[in-house]
Amino acid sequence: MPPRKKSAAPATGAPVSMADLARELGVSMTTISRALSDHHSIGPEMKRKVLKLAKKYNYQPNRLASALRKGRSKLLGIIVPYIEGRFFARVVHGMETAARQAGYHVIICQSNEEEAQERRNIEALLNLQVAGILTSVARTTRDYQHFDQVTERGVPLVFFDRRPDERPVHAVVLDDQEGGYLATRHLLQQGCRRVAHVAGPQYLNIYRNRRLGYLQALQEAGIPPDEALISYGDMSQEAGAAALRQWLKLPAPPDAVFAAGDYAALGVMEAALSSGLAVPGELAVVGFSNETFTVISKPAISSVEQRCEEMGQAAVRLLLELIEADGSVLGPRQLVLHPELLVRASSQRLEVSAAPKETKPRRK
Partner DNA sequence: TTGTATGCGTTATCAG
Partner DNA sequence: CTGATAACGCATACAA
Footprint of DNA (CB under 7 A): 4, 15, 17-19, 26-31, 33-34, 36-37, 40-43, 45-46, 59-62, 65-66, 68-71
Q: What is the DSSP annotation of 51-85?
A: HHHHHHTT----HHHHHHHHT--SEEEEEES-SSS
- How far is Cα of residue 1 from the mean position of the Cα atoms in its chain? 49
Query: Is residue 327 close enough to count as binding a copy of itself by CB under 8 A?
Result: no
Which amino acid, one-letter code, is at 119? R
Decide which of DNA, a copy of itself, none touches 17; Cβ closer than 5 to 8 Å per partner kind: DNA
Strand ranges for the chain from DSSP E: 75-80, 105-110, 132-135, 157-160, 170-174, 195-199, 230-232, 256-259, 284-286, 303-305, 334-337, 340-342
The sign one gets for the Cα dihedral 92, 95, 100, 101 is: positive
Minimum distance from CB of 221 to a copy of itself (Å)? 32
Q: Which of 9, 15, 56, 352 binds a copy of itself (CB under 8 A)?
A: 15
Q: Which of residues 276-295 bind a copy of itself (CB under 8 A)?
A: 291-293
Query: Is residue 299 close enough to count as binding a copy of itself by CB under 8 A?
Result: no
Query: Is residue 307 close enough to count as binding a copy of itself by CB under 8 A?
Result: no
Q: By the 8 A CB rule, do 257 and 198 touch?
A: yes
Q: Which of residues 260-279 bind a copy of itself (CB under 8 A)?
A: 266
Q: Which of 49, 105, 245, 333 binds a copy of itself (CB under 8 A)?
A: 105
Burial class (CB in 10 A: 0-12, 13-18, 19+), 114: middle
Q: Which is nearer to a copy of itself, 25 or 126 (CB)?
A: 126
Query: Is residue 128 close enough to count as binding a copy of itself by CB under 8 A?
Result: yes
Residues 54-93: x/- map of binding to a copy of itself (CB under 8 A)? ------xxxxxx-xx----x-x------xxxxx--xx-xx
Minimum distance from CB of 106 to a copy of itself (Å)? 6
Q: Which is nearer to DNA, 4 or 364 (CB)?
A: 4
Instruction: Tell me if the bond preceding 15 is cis, omega within 30° of 0.
Output: no
Q: Which is nearer to a copy of itself, 176 or 291 (CB)?
A: 291
Contacts of 183 (CB under 8 A, 6+ apart): 213, 214, 217, 258, 286, 288, 302, 304, 341
**How far apart, in whole angstroms, are the C-alpha atoms of residue 257 and residue 268?**
8
Q: Which residues of 214-228 are buried (b: 16+ CB within 10 A; e: fewer)?
A: bbbbbeeeebeeeee
Helix (H, G, I), strand (E, B) or coil at 4: coil
Minimum distance from CB of 223 to a copy of itself (Å)? 32
Q: Which is nearer to DNA, 19 or 128 (CB)?
A: 19
Q: Which is nearer to DNA, 62 or 219 (CB)?
A: 62
Decide which of a copy of itself, DNA, none touches 28; Cβ closer than 5 to 8 Å per partner kind: DNA
Q: Which residues of 9-34 are buried (b: 16+ CB within 10 A; e: fewer)?
A: eeeeeeebbbebbbebbeeeeebbbb
Q: Which of 21, 22, 54, 106 binds a copy of itself (CB under 8 A)?
A: 106
Q: Which is nearer to a copy of itself, 101 or 219 (CB)?
A: 101
Over its C-alpha atoms, the chain yields an Rg (Å, rounded) of: 27
Q: Which is nearer to a copy of itself, 48 or 63 (CB)?
A: 63
Minimum distance from CB of 19 to a copy of itself (Å)? 14
Interface residue list for a copy of itself (CB under 8 A): 12-13, 15, 60-65, 67-68, 73, 75, 82-86, 89-90, 92-93, 96-97, 100, 105-110, 123-124, 126-129, 149, 151-154, 266, 291-293, 296-298, 309
